[in-house]
Amino acid sequence: MKHLPECRSMNFSIYAGMLDRYKDSDDIRQSCRQCGLNGLEVILAGESDQGKIFPDMVNGVHLYFHIFWMDFWLGHYDRLDEEFDSRQQWIDYYGGTDREIYLDCLRKDLRYAEEVGAKYVVFHVSEVTLRESYTFQYRYTNEEVIDASLEIINTLLDEHEYPFDFLVENLWWSGLDMKTPELTRKLVEGIHSDRKGIMLDTGHYMNTSSELKTPEDAVACLHDMLDAHEAAGVPVTEWIKGLHLQMSLSGEYVRKQKKEWKENPMDFAQIPFYELYRMAYSHACSIDLHKPFLGEGVKELIERIRPRYVTFEYSADGREEYERWAKAQSELLGYLPEKKSEIG
pLDDT band (50, 70, 90) for residue 3 = confident
For 252-307, write each residue's pLDDT tens digit. Answer: 999 999 999 999 999 999 999 999 999 999 999 999 999 999 999 999 999 999 99
Distance between CA atoms of residues 202 and 223, nearest Å: 11
- Cα distances (angstroms) measured from residue 335 to each of 4, 175, 206, 332: 7, 33, 24, 8
The whole-number pLDDT of residue 338 equals: 58
The whole-number pLDDT of residue 2 equals: 72
- Cα distances (angstroms) measured from residue 275 to each of 56, 66, 193: 40, 17, 40
CB-CB contact of 225 with 178 (8 Å)? yes
* Residues counted in the chain: 344
The yes-or-no verdict on residue 16 having pLDDT over 90 is: yes
Angle between helices 181-190 and 142-159 (to 10 degrees): 20
Percent of the chain predicted with pLDDT > 90: 97
Angle between helices 181-190 and 215-231 (to 10 degrees): 70
Amino acid at the residue 339: K
Distance between CA atoms of residues 128 and 181, nearest Å: 21
For 32-81, write each residue's pLDDT tens digit. Answer: 999 999 999 999 999 999 999 999 999 999 999 999 999 999 999 999 99
pLDDT band (50, 70, 90) for residue 1 = very low
The whole-number pLDDT of residue 343 equals: 43
Average pLDDT, the chain: 96
pLDDT band (50, 70, 90) for residue 341 = very low
The yes-or-no verdict on residue 95 having pLDDT over 90 is: yes
For 120-155, write each residue's pLDDT tens digit. Answer: 999 999 999 999 999 999 999 999 999 999 999 999
CB atoms within 10 A of CB 136: 13
Distance between CA atoms of residues 202 and 228, nearest Å: 16
Query: Sign (positive/negative) of CA torsion 228, 230, 233, 239?
Result: positive
The yes-or-no verdict on residue 243 having pLDDT over 70 is: yes
Distance between CA atoms of residues 1 and 44, nearest Å: 36
The yes-or-no verdict on residue 342 having pLDDT over 70 is: no
What are the start-end ranges of the H helices in the chain? Answer: 16-19, 25-34, 70-74, 77-83, 87-94, 99-116, 132-135, 142-159, 181-190, 202-206, 215-231, 236-239, 251-263, 273-287, 298-305, 319-333
The yes-or-no verdict on residue 339 having pLDDT over 70 is: no
Query: Sign (positive/negative) of CA torsion 70, 155, 238, 182?
Result: positive
The yes-or-no verdict on residue 214 having pLDDT over 90 is: yes
Q: What residues form DSSP beta bridges with 243?
A: 200, 310
Q: What residues form DSSP beta bridges with 10?
A: 40, 312
Q: State the pTM of this model.
A: 0.96
